[in-house]
């Protein structure tokens, strides 16, 4: 060991280090440009100068090259040092005035301008590149040549080198962006494309694949890593302070014994290069929708700025071409998601780039068929997104500007040409490339489009038992449908494996909790470096020193990574060693790491709520990286605040609620029946309540599906299963009178033909369904030839011939009118199934009577997914599709001897008259009136169209914000039968997450009423987003006392109530007023 005196303080260091290494390890910052941890010091930039005093003589020396000698006295901040350093900065700025690295570092030292003549060089001869190539790559493809002012870096003989391996290490380390690989190497430069950013930018060989990667850890691409390929480099290992780099890691084969498999291999996007005429791959400003998604992303190649690839300028006009790789002869299916993602991208692009950005979307049919989508489409139009009905066959580039020309055909059959700065191809969804391999490996069948084969009644099952499927592997689909299907697949497995459920779980044992009541707070503070994430900006040792000065702090130290496993052991040791009874960690965010530290504290025997976190990374070092000193001060403030609160922390206990292991399912349609059988198969009791006499709901009126299957057999089987099941208690002709209670413990009162009954249950599944709209328009009810699709289907299937439909003769002409009661002002939503239903019935009619002419008058044909191929089939069978506009709806009139339909044609700009024997109205789906009552019982919200509103439209499609209540089928929104079945299975699976537990732990940080202070003003009731607060009255000392009661199972601890309370009568545990007050006082320095 040697001893150095640095700025007046003595420090001990191991021998054999340089001065710079020693000084930096004390936390003192020394500016340097040419120093690199993995390379031998070179002393080129002269910025790391320090003043050393030895044997009474002082001198200025570059600390990176000067060895640490015992008893040396070092001054890093002396006037002489600072003055010389500033001159060095000025010299560097003069030599390379454009280098951002020099500007930045100089700026930090207060040097903004140089007094010397600017030379406009792009190299200051730091030698990083030369050393990197020689020392780490072992190649020496570049070196210094010449002397004096002619000195420069170049390959031997100033000719492109053939030994250069084009690894790019020299270029990546260069501070002035001087090094260009093309100028150095003879070999071809192949950049590594950043896969996540769709190759729009490059990436290094060691990288974190994408910001949300799970686990969020770096990986080394062995195809490019110089160390793995040539046993050189190894720089990353030297840099990683966590010592996490292990070059020896090998791919491992792991064998697992499983009872079932869920296949979710997802999809691949269509390779737009196949469509040569669209120019993708040839024109830089033609991008795929996925590339554009990355361009829009804040973590994307242009950090969220809307720029086009060719010149990185902002586009003024963007054109989206839909159905690229979808809806064509070769791939006769609709990719289901492109219309909406293009709409979303157009809206976001306008948000990012400003309203002046023009976005045109070339569509054939706008397929906004899901819940809330049509409203979104309307909004996009209001925001100025234009939809043009044409499928342009080609894109042409203007070579000079790299702008693109799209020629299209207007609805009036006139050709238009539009110039775009950027063209986005909305590429379709395809099965993954490995699909054949998957199907062979797992022994499952694929359908005609090479997606996984499923059937309408078994939508989550592959053709092989025990192998379940979810996501776009079975059909192109959006996020909510994918999530539903994934939950549905787990429901199947929950029943298949119910006997071994939980058998691999090992319960965790904790030591008994120490009682800290009455103890003086003894606080331990752990300050995290987070590698260089925090320590690169914040002076961590100074924060530790500061923490030690705070009252009640008995221990403080810093850790490289506080979240690492060894630090958890250390924290536990320190708690024991110093008898800590409060713990503060100053590191990242509680959002990701609070549970980990709470668990550590609990493992040490402390109550987990005796823990507090100070966020000095996300809210400090990351946002103040340009101002390190201020950031260090702020970190101290944050630690002080956390300590102030920690002093007042109370141990809190989580309450648990026992679960009644049965479910109430409201509705005996296909959804309710499916959920009931699923839960029964999983071993839970079910109370199935249906208001009608018969089970089956809307499906009992459906006699054939698009694919020709008859659903009645399957429905009958399902009803039989329900009736036979011992687990399912069936109540028909039954009305729900009341539901009270909450998750785990509901109590429901029902009445069956006037007879009342009551039962308890742990969860509720809402499957109340919906009904066909009863049209008021198009002379419905005034002529026997006018009927709805369901009525037509009823007639078609009873006798099986068309005679039954008219009662007279075989109808010659049939007109179907779409969007009756849908997509209008009163009901702005799409009923989703009517297009497919019309096509289904049209095909049936054509099958029965090929010479009957069928006209379908539509607004957009929304045959999403594989339904598209039936649309094709209908056209092939001679069904005529005519489009009408919302503001010029068709007119139906009765001229005595027959019906007459008039539809305005956009191309002809005149009405076409069709004489019709039958007019079929594709009536939409409307919500039941009874939904409002059920919603009130369950305290769950409805949409404005009175469908139930789930917790999150995309990510939680079967949950409510209220725990323990789930949703499926038409009660959620219009959907097809197989989609209802999937959602019903999903609801069962979600319900099972509760029912499978004996009790559930409630969060401890929730609202608590102080009865004494509460005067029952009820201000807090309305703002509660979870409807957890109720006003109660009780007798106290002879008078009525009003107060509020918190449903602890419903409360999420958001604090809305606490904020509204004028009497300090309600507060959130862990966020008491005095705790927050202490934090605020600590922040502003008051006592």
Binding site for another protein (CB under 8 A): 277, 323, 327-329, 364-365, 389-394, 407-409, 413-415, 812-813, 853, 855, 861, 871-872, 875-883, 902, 905, 907-915
Q: Are strands 734-742 and 745-752 parallel, antiparallel or unpaired?
A: antiparallel
**Smallest distance from the beta carbon of 874 to another protein, in angstroms?**
8
**Smallest distance from the beta carbon of 870 to another protein, in angstroms?**
13
Cis check: omega of the bond before 215, within 30 degrees of 0 = yes
> By the 8 A CB rule, do 525 and 645 touch?
no
Cα distances (angstroms) measured from residue 996 to each of 261, 484, 999, 1001: 20, 19, 9, 13
Q: Name residue 910's beta-bridge partners.
A: 905
**Smallest distance from the beta carbon of 415 to another protein, in angstroms?**
6
Structure tokens at 734: 């039954």
**Smallest distance from the beta carbon of 871 to another protein, in angstroms?**
8
Residue (555 or 904) nearer to another protein, CB: 904
Distance CA 173, CA 235 (A): 11
Kindly state the helix (H) or strand (E) to which residue 266 belongs, with its residue range. none
Distance CA 940, CA 949 (A): 8
Residue (365 or 837) nearer to another protein, CB: 365
Residue (383 or 880) nearer to another protein, CB: 880
Residue (727 or 812) nearer to another protein, CB: 812
**Smallest distance from the beta carbon of 896 to another protein, in angstroms?**
17
**Smallest distance from the beta carbon of 342 to another protein, in angstroms?**
16
Rounded (10°) CA dihedral 202, 214, 341, 359: -40
Distance CA 182, CA 184 (A): 6
Cα distances (angstroms) measured from residue 944 to each of 35, 48, 82, 453, 927: 64, 67, 69, 37, 10
Residue (405 or 1054) nearer to another protein, CB: 405
Residue that the structure tokens 């001054």 belong to: 75
**Smallest distance from the beta carbon of 915 to another protein, in angstroms?**
8
Residue (13 or 858) nearer to another protein, CB: 858
**Smallest distance from the beta carbon of 787 to another protein, in angstroms?**
21
Residue (371 or 883) nearer to another protein, CB: 883
**Smallest distance from the beta carbon of 984 to another protein, in angstroms?**
34
Distance CA 3, CA 546 (A): 25
Helix, strand, or coil here: 713? Answer: helix
Residue (572 or 812) nearer to another protein, CB: 812
**Smallest distance from the beta carbon of 879 to another protein, in angstroms?**
8
**Smallest distance from the beta carbon of 447 to another protein, in angstroms?**
21
**Smallest distance from the beta carbon of 394 to another protein, in angstroms?**
7
Query: In sequence order, which ranges of 261-324 are alpha helices (DSSP H)?
Result: 289-296
**Smallest distance from the beta carbon of 855 to another protein, in angstroms?**
7
Backbone dihedral angles phi then psi of residue 615, each to the nearest 5 degrees? -90, 90
Residue among 132, 24, 127 nearest 68 (CA)? 24
Residue (888 or 954) nearer to another protein, CB: 888
Residue among 965, 911, 912, 915 nearest 940 (CA)? 965
Structure tokens at 595: 């549970």
Residue (415 or 753) nearer to another protein, CB: 415
Residue (258 or 910) nearer to another protein, CB: 910
Length of the chain (residues): 1087
**Smallest distance from the beta carbon of 194 to another protein, in angstroms?**
32
Residue (158 or 851) nearer to another protein, CB: 851
Distance CA 810, CA 246 (A): 78
Distance CA 755, CA 230 (A): 83
Distance CA 571, CA 612 (A): 14
Residue among 873, 877, 839, 872 nearest 858 (CA)? 839
Residue (700 or 813) nearer to another protein, CB: 813
Residue among 893, 887, 882, 823 nearest 856 (CA)? 882
* CB contact burial 877-913 (16+ within 10 A = b; e otherwise): eebebbbbeeeebbebeeeeeebbbebbeeeeeeeee
State the DSSP string of 859-920. Answer: SS----GGGHHHHHHHHHTT-EEEE-BTTB--EEEE-SSSEEEEEEETTTTEEEEEEESEEE
**Smallest distance from the beta carbon of 410 to another protein, in angstroms?**
8
**Smallest distance from the beta carbon of 999 to another protein, in angstroms?**
57
Residue (334 or 349) nearer to another protein, CB: 334
> By the 8 A CB rule, do 5 and 23 touch?
no
**Smallest distance from the beta carbon of 136 to another protein, in angstroms?**
54
Residue (566 or 913) nearer to another protein, CB: 913
Distance CA 386, CA 406 (A): 15
Residue (595 or 911) nearer to another protein, CB: 911
- Name the burial class of residue 545, with classes exposed (0-12), middle (13-18) and buried (19+) by CB atoms within 10 angstroms of its CB: middle
Distance CA 140, CA 935 (A): 74
**Smallest distance from the beta carbon of 427 to another protein, in angstroms?**
14
Residue (46 or 883) nearer to another protein, CB: 883
CA–centroid distance for 568 within its chain: 30
- CA within 13 Å, CB half, 89: 24
Residue (423 or 971) nearer to another protein, CB: 423
- Name the burial class of residue 49, with classes exposed (0-12), middle (13-18) and buried (19+) by CB atoms within 10 angstroms of its CB: buried
Distance CA 1017, CA 1060 (A): 11
């Amino acid at each position: 060991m040697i001893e150095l005196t640095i700025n007046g303080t003595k420090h001990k260091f191991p021998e054999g280090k340089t001065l710079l290494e020693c000084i930096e390890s004390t936390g003192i910052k020394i500016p340097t440009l040419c120093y690199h941890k993995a390379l031998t010091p070179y002393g080129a930039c002269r910025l790391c100068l320090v003043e050393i005093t030895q044997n009474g003589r002082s001198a200025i020396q570059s600390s990176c090259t000067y060895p640490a000698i015992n008893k040396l006295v070092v001054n890093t901040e002396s006037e002489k040092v600072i003055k010389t350093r500033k001159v060095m900065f000025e010299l560097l700025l003069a030599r390379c005035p454009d280098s951002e690295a020099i500007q930045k570092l100089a700026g930090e030292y207060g040097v903004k301008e140089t007094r010397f003549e600017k030379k406009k060089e792009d190299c200051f001869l730091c030698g990083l590149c030369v050393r990197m190539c020689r020392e780490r790559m072992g190649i020496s493809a570049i070196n210094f040549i010449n002397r004096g002012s002619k000195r420069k870096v170049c390959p031997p003989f100033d000719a492109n080198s053939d030994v250069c391996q084009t690894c790019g290490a020299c270029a990546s380390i260069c501070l002035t962006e001087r090094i260009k690989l093309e100028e150095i190497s003879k070999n071809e430069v192949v950049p590594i494309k950043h896969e996540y950013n769709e190759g729009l930018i490059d990436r290094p060989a060691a990288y974190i694949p994408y910001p949300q990667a799970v686990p969020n850890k770096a990986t080394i691409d062995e195809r490019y890593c110089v160390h793995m390929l040539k046993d050189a480099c190894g720089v990353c290992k030297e840099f990683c302070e966590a010592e996490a780099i292990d070059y020896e890691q090998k791919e491992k084969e792991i064998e697992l014994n499983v009872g079932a498999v869920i296949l979710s291999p997802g999809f691949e996007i269509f390779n737009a290069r196949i469509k040569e005429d669209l120019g993708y791959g040839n024109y830089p400003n033609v991008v795929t929708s996925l590339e554009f998604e990355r361009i829009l992303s804040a973590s994307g190649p242009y950090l969220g700025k809307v720029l086009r690839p060719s010149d990185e300028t902002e586009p003024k006009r963007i054109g989206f071409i839909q159905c690229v790789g979808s809806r064509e002869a070769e791939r006769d299916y609709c990719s289901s998601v492109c219309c909406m993602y293009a709409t979303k991208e157009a809206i976001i692009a306008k948000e990012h780039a400003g309203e002046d950005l023009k976005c045109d979307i070339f569509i054939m049919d706008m397929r906004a068929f899901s819940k809330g989508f049509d409203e979104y489409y309307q909004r996009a139009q209001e925001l100025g997104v234009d939809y043009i009905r044409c499928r342009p066959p080609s894109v042409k580039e203007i070579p000079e500007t790299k702008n693109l020309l799209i020629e299209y055909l207007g609805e009036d059959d006139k050709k238009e040409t539009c110039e775009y700065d950027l063209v986005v191809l909305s590429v379709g969804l395809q099965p993954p490339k490995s699909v054949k391999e998957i199907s062979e490996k797992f022994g499952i069948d694929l359908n005609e489009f090479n997606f996984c084969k499923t059937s309408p009644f078994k939508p989550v099952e592959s053709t092989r038992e025990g192998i379940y499927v979810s996501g776009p592997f079975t059909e192109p689909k959006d996020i909510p449908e994918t999530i539903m299907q994934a939950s549905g697949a787990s429901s199947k497995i929950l029943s298949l494996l119910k006997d071994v459920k939980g058998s691999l779980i090992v319960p965790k044992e904790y030591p008994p909790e120490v009682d800290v009541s009455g103890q003086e707070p003894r606080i331990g503070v752990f300050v995290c470096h987070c590698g260089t994430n925090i320590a690169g900006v914040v002076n961590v040792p100074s924060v530790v020193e500061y923490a030690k000065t705070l009252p009640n702090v008995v221990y403080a130290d810093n850790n490289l990574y506080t979240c690492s496993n060894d630090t958890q052991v250390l924290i536990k040791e320190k708690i024991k060693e110093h008898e800590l009874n409060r713990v503060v960690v100053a590191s990242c965010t509680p959002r990701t790491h609070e549970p980990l530290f709470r668990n550590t504290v609990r493992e040490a025997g402390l109550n987990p709520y005796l823990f507090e976190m100070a966020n000095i990374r996300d809210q400090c070092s990351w946002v103040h990286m340009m101002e390190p000193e201020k950031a260090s001060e702020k970190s101290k403030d944050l630690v002080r605040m956390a300590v102030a609160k920690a002093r007042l922390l109370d141990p809190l206990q989580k309450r648990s609620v026992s679960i009644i292991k049965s479910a109430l399912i409201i509705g005996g349609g296909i959804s309710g029946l499916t959920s009931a059988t699923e839960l029964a198969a999983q071993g839970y009791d079910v109370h199935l309540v249906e208001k009608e006499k018969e089970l089956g709901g809307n499906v009992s009126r459906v006699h054939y599906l698009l694919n020709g299957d008859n659903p009645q057999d399957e429905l009958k089987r399902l009803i039989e299963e329900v009736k036979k099941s011992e687990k399912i208690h069936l109540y028909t002709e039954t009305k729900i009178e009341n539901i009270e209670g909450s998750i785990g413990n509901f109590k429901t009162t029902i009445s069956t033909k006037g007879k009342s009954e009551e039962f308890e249950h742990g969860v509720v599944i809402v499957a109340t369904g919906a009904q066909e709209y009863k049209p008021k328009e198009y002379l419905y009810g005034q002529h026997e030839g006018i009927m709805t699709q369901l009525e037509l289907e009823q007639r078609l299937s009873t006798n099986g011939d068309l005679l039954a439909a008219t009662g007279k003769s075989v109808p010659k002409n049939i007109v179907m009118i779409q969007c009756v009661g849908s997509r209008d002002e009163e009901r702005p939503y799409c009923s989703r199934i009517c297009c497919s239903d019309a096509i289904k019935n049209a095909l049936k009619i054509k099958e029965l009577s090929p010479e009957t002419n069928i006209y379908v008058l539509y607004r957009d044909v929304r045959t999403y997914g594989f339904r598209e191929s039936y649309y094709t089939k209908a056209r092939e069978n001679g069904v005529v599709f005519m489009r009408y506009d919302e503001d010029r709806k068709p007119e139906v009139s009765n001229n005595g001897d027959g019906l007459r339909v008039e539809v305005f044609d956009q191309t002809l700009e005149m009405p076409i008259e069709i004489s019709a024997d039958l007019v079929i109205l594709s009536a939409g789906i409307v919500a039941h009136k009874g939904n409002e009552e059920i919603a009130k019982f369950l305290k769950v919200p409805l949409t404005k169209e009175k469908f139930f509103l789930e917790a999150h439209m995309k990510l939680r499609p079967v949950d409510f914000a209220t725990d323990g209540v789930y949703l499926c089928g038409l009660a959620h929104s219009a959907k097809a039968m197989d989609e209802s079945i999937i959602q019903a299975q999903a609801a069962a699976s979600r319900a099972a997450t509760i029912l499978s537990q004996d009790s559930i732990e409630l969060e401890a940080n929730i609202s608590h009423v102080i009865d004494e202070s509460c005067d029952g003003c009820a201000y807090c009731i309305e703002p509660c987003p979870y409807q957890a607060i109720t006003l109660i009255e009780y007798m106290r000392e002879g008078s009525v006392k009003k107060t509020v009661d918190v449903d602890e199972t419903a409360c999420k601890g958001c604090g809305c109530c606490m904020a509204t309370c004028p009497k300090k009568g309600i507060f959130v545990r862990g966020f008491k007023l005095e705790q927050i007050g202490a934090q605020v006082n600590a922040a502003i320095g008051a006592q």
